[in-house]
A and B are shown apart, each in its own frame.
Chain A
Amino acid sequence: MTMSTAAAPARPRRAMDSLTQRYLVLVGLIVIASVGFGIANENFYSLANIGILLRSIAVLFLVSMGMTFIMLTGGIDLSVGSNVAFAGGVGVIALTATDSAALGFVAAILAGMAIGAINGVFIGRLRLSAFMVTLATFALARGLALVIYDADSINVSNAAFLWLGGQSWGSLPVVIPFVALVFVALSVLLYRAPFGRDVYAAGSNFNTAFVLGRMPQRTLVWVYVLSGALAGLSAIITVGRVSSGQPWTGLYLEFDAITAVILGGTSLFGGRGRLLGTILGVLLYGIIINGLVLTGTNPYLQSLIKGLILLGVVLLDTLVQRRKAQ
C-alpha cells in the first residue's frame, strides 16, 4: 500500500482539493487586501506602485520558490538570506577583479550553490537536522559576507551586471518577466521531470523512497543546491537593484520566505504543496507589506498584523477543511 503511494507519489486527489481551496482563499484575501488598501490610498493602484510592488518582491519570489522545493522534502533553509549576501559578495568581487559581467554572474551563482551544497551534504548525506545545519550556515554565510566585504559596501557601475535588477521597460521592471521565466522552468522541473517526483517522494516518506532506490539523500543535496543557486540569482538582482554590493543584504529574508511559503499552503512536513501557492503567498505578503508602508503603519503594529494574518490564514484554511470533512 505504501509502496504504491511512493511509486506514484504524485499529489493524491484529496490533497489537491484542499490545496485548490487554499488558493481560492488566498486569491480572495489578495482581492480584499487590494481593495482595502485601494480605498485607503488612491496611489495603491497606480501603475508605478504596482511596478514598485512587484520589483520589491522579485527576490522574495525566487527565494520562496527554492524554499518550496526544500519544504516539499520536509526540510527548511534558514541560510538563504545570508547566502544572498555572501553570493553577492563573491559575484561583486569577481566582477571588480575581472571586469566581466558574465564571470560575475557565474561566480555569484556558484557561490550560492556552494553554501547550498554544504547544507545539502550535511542534511542529505549525514542526515543531520535541516534546522540546525542551516542555522549554522545562516551564521557562516553572513560572516563570510562580512569578511569578503570587510563589512563595507562596494559600488558597482557595470551596466550589464546591473541590468537584471535595475532596468525597467516603462513601469515594468525587467526582473518581472525574468521571475516568470524562472517560475515556468521550475514548474517544468517539479511537475514534468523525474527530479520533481523524487522531491515529492523524499518528502512523503524518506525511508520508503530510500528502499525504492529513489536515492532521496541525493535528491536532498540537489534541492539545497537549487535553493543556493536561486539565492545566487537573487544576489545578482539585489546588487542591480541597489547598484552596490551590501554585506547586510537579505537580513531576515528567510523568515519572509518561510511565511510566504506557508501562506501558500505548502506543508511543513513535506510532500504537499505547489509552486503556484507560493506565488500567491508571496503576492499576498507583498501587498500587505506594501499597503502598510503606504498607510504609514507603526512598525510594531505591522509585526502584530503580520502575526495575526499568518495565523488567520492557516486557521481559516483548517476550519474550512474541517467543515468539509464533516
Chain B
Amino acid sequence: MTFKTGLMAATALATLGAPAWAQEDTLDIVFINDGHVAPYHVAWLKGFEDAIEAYDEAFEDTEITGRWLSAEGSLEKMIQQTEVTINEGPDVMFVNAINVDAFEPLVAKAQEAGITWIAVHSPMESADYSFTLGDVVNGTNQGMAICALSGGEPYKVGVMLGQAGNPSGEARREGILKGIATCDNVEVVAEQPADWDTVKAQSIAENWLTQFEDLDAISGVTDAYMYPSIAIATNSGKDLDFFGYDGDIPILQQMKDGPVKADILLSGTREGWNFVQMAYRIHKGETPDKVYDFYTPLVMTEENHKIALENGFPEDVEVYYVDQALDVAANGYLEFGPDSVK
C-alpha cells in the first residue's frame, strides 16, 4: 500500500482543509453498485458518503476516502469499473455484483493486488467477506406479519416480485410465500415481477385494483413498489394494507395511522454506514464473520405488534417500533458511527 494520490476526492479534501499529505495511514474504500436510481440506492449513497466524512473527521490519524460507482444495470460496465478500480488499488472494495460467477476471476485479481473484497448481498465463497441480508428470513417475517395481521378472515394479497432471475428477489419471494404458508386464511391471488421499477409497479397495482375488487393487501419485495401502490389506492379511495421491504424513510412514515402495516428495516442509509464501519474495523485488524449478516429487524407499530403476538406471531422475531426505526434509519451513526468502534 504505497503512497497513493489516486483519488480526486483525496485531492479535493486535501485542498479543502487539513494538510492531509502529512498523514501516513490511509483507508480508501470503493463501493461498486448495480444502479443508482432506486430510492434504496440513493439512501445507500447518502449513508456511505456521510459515514466516510464522519469517520474521516473522527479519526485524525487515518485519512479515509471513498468512491461510489454505479454500473447502471449493465454487467459489462460493472466489470469494466471493477477492473479499473483494481488497477487503482484501493484498500477495500464492496461489490454488489449483478452476477457473482462473472466476478470470480476479478476477486482473485483484487486479492493479488492486496485489496480486501467484500461481496455485497450475494455471498461469494472466494471473497474475503460477504455482507448478506438474510432475505429468506426477512421475507418469512414479512409473510408471517401478513398472517398475523390479516384478522383470521379470508384475506387476499398480491405480491410484487423483483426481476426474474435476480437472486435477492427470488430469496425474498421464497421467504414471503413461506411466511404466508403458515396460515390458511391468506390467499396469494397474484404474483408479478415489476423488475424493481416503480412505473411497472404502478401499472401492476392499477391492474390489480380493477382485477381483484376484494384485494386486501399488497406485499412487495422492495419499498420502491409501495410509493405508487399507496398513491393509487389512496387516490381511488380503496382501503388496502401494505407490507413493504427495505425500510425507506417515507414508507416508514406511512405506518402510524397509515396503510403500511409492516416493513423490513434494511434502510439504505443504515447499510451505507455499516459498510464504512466494517471497512474501518477490517483496516484496524479486526476480523468480522466471513459471512456478515446485516442486522435487520421488522418494523410495526406497537399496537400492531401486540395484535400480531396475540395471533401467534413468533416472539423471538426482533421488532422495532416506528419511532425507533425512523431514528436509526435517519441517523446511521447511532448504530454504526465512529463511536461504535472507538
Contact = CB atoms under 8 A, between A and B. Distances in A.
The short answer to whether A and B are in direct contact, CB under 8 Å, is yes
A29 B83 CA distance: 25
A52 B88 CA distance: 12
B185 interface: no
Contact of B101 (A59, A153, A289): A153
B5 A42 contact: yes
Contacts of B81: 293
B7 A242 contact: no
A188 B6 CA distance: 43
Contacts of A243: 101-102, 104-105
B16 interface: no
A43 interface: yes
A248 to B, nearest CB: 7
Contacts of B76: 56, 59, 238, 241-242, 249-250
Contacts of B341: none
Contact of B6 (A41, A55, A146): A41
Interface string B70-114: 101111100111011001100000000011011011000000000
B88 A299 contact: no
B36 interface: yes
Contact of A56 (B72, B83, B98, B165): B83
Contact of B164 (A40, A146, A244): A146
A251 B75 CA distance: 9
Contacts of A146: 164-165
B89 to A, nearest CB: 8
Interface in A1-53: 40-43, 46, 48-49, 52
A87 B281 CA distance: 45
B84 A40 contact: no
Interface residues of A, number: 39
Interface in A292-319: 293-296, 299-300
A242 B102 contact: yes
Interface in A133-182: 146, 149-153, 155, 166
Contact of A249 (B5, B75, B83): B75
Nearest to A241: B79
B102 A244 contact: yes
Nearest to B84: A293
A248 B72 contact: no
Contacts of A290: 80, 84
A264 interface: no
A49 B88 CA distance: 9
A210 interface: no
A59 B79 CA distance: 13
Contact of B8 (A40, A151, A238): A40
Interface residues of B, number: 31
A230 B111 CA distance: 35
Contacts of A49: 84, 87
Given A46-B87, A299-B72, A56 B164 contact: no
Contacts of B73: 248, 251
A237 B98 CA distance: 18
B67 interface: yes
B87 A244 contact: no
A293 B80 contact: yes
A43 B88 contact: yes
Contacts of B84: 49, 52, 290, 293-294
A134 to B, nearest CB: 20
A158 to B, nearest CB: 14
Contact of A299 (B6, B36, B75, B104): B36
Contacts of B104: 243
A52 B74 contact: no
B255 interface: no
A68 interface: no
B102 A153 contact: yes
A79 interface: no
Given A42-B6, A242-B101, 5 more contacts: A52-B80, A146-B165, A149-B165, A244-B99, A249-B75
Q: Which 10 A-B pairs have the closest CB atoms?
A: A151-B165, A242-B102, A151-B164, A296-B67, A56-B80, A52-B83, A299-B70, A152-B165, A244-B101, A299-B36
13 contacts: A41-B6, A42-B6, A48-B87, A149-B165, A153-B99, A153-B102, A242-B79, A243-B105, A248-B75, A250-B76, A251-B74, A293-B80, A299-B72
Interface of B: 5-9, 36, 67-70, 72-76, 79-81, 83-84, 87-88, 98-99, 101-102, 104-105, 163-165
